[in-house]
Structure 1
Amino acid sequence: MNAIDRTPADLLRSALAADPARPLITFYDDATGERVELSVATFANWVAKTANLIQDELGAQPGDRLALLLPAHWQTAVWLLACSSTGVVADIGGDPAAADLVVSGPDTLEEARACTGERVALSLRPLGGRFPTPPQGFMDYAVEVPSQGDRFAPYAPVDPHAPALAFAGADALTGAQAVERAREDAETRGLTPVSRVLSALPYDTWDGLSAGLLAPLEAGASVVLCRHLDRLSPADFAKRRESERVTATAGDVPLTPSTE
Structure 2
Amino acid sequence: MNATDRTPADLLGSALAADPGRPLVTFYDDATGERVELSVATFANWVAKTANLLQDELSVEPGDRVALLLPAHWQTAVWLLACASVGVVADVAGDPAAADVVVSGPEPESLEAARACGGPRIALALRPLGGRFPQPPEGFADYAVEVPGQGDRFVPYAPVDPEEPALIVAGREFTGAEVVERARAQAPELGLTGPGSRVLSGLPYDTWEGLNTGLYGPLATGGSVVLCRNLDRLGEDALDKRVESERATVIAR
State the TM-score, normalizing by the size of structure 1: 0.95
- Determine the structure 1 residue equivalent to 2:176: 175
Residue equivalent to 1:68: 68
Matches of 1:96 and 1:48, distance apart in 2: 24
* Residue of 158, 161, 164 corresponding to 2:163: 161
Provide the secondary structure at the position in 2 that maps to 1:146.
coil
The answer for the alignment partner of 1:193 in structure 2 is 195
Aligned twin of 1:95: 95
The answer to whether structure 1 residue 83 and structure 2 residue 121 are counterparts is: no
Q: How does 1:1-260 map to 2 (within 5 A)?
A: 1-107=1-107, 108-168=110-170, 170-191=171-192, 192-251=194-253
What is the DSSP-based 3-state SS (H/G/I as helix, E as strand, rest coil) of the residue aligned with 2:148?
helix
Partner amino acid, structure 1, of 2:23: P
State the AA in 2 paired with 1:41. Answer: A
- 2:167–2:173 Cα contact (<8 Å) kept: yes
**By how many angstroms is 1:190 displaced?**
3.6
Deviations 1:200-238 (A, max 9, x none): 001111000000000100100010000001111111111
Shift of 1:185: 1.4
- The alpha carbon displacement at 1:167 in A equals 1.4
Alpha-carbon separation, structure 2, partners of 1:190 and 1:180: 16
- For 2:35, the aligned partner's letter is R
Match of 1:249, SS state, is strand
| RMSD, matched Cα | 0.7
User: Which stretches of structure 1, 4 residues or more, deviate above 2 A after TM superposition?
Assistant: 187-190
Write the letter of the residue equivalent to 1:26.
T
CA drift at 1:250 = 1.0
CA distance in 2, matches of 1:221, 1:233: 26
Q: Distance in 1 between matches of 2:44 and 2:174?
A: 22
The number of residues matched between the two structures is: 250
Distance 1:15 1:207 in 2: 22
Gaps of 5+ in 1: 252-260
Query: What TM-score, normalized by structure 2, do the two folds share?
Result: 0.98
Identity %: 74
Q: Which secondary structure does the structure 2 equivalent of 1:147 belong to?
A: coil
Q: Which moved more, 1:189-198 or 1:91-100?
A: 189-198
Structure 1 residue 161: Cα displacement: 0.2
- For 1:182 and 1:87, the matched residues in 2 are separated by 19
The unaligned stretches of length 5 or more in structure 2 are none
| Cα distance per residue 1:232-257 (max 9 Å; x no partner) | 11111111011000111112xxxxxx
Distance, in Å, in 2 between the alignment partners of 1:59 and 1:182 is 30
> What secondary structure is seen at the aligned counterpart in 2 of 1:120?
strand
Q: Is the 8 A contact 2:169 2:206 kept in 1?
A: yes
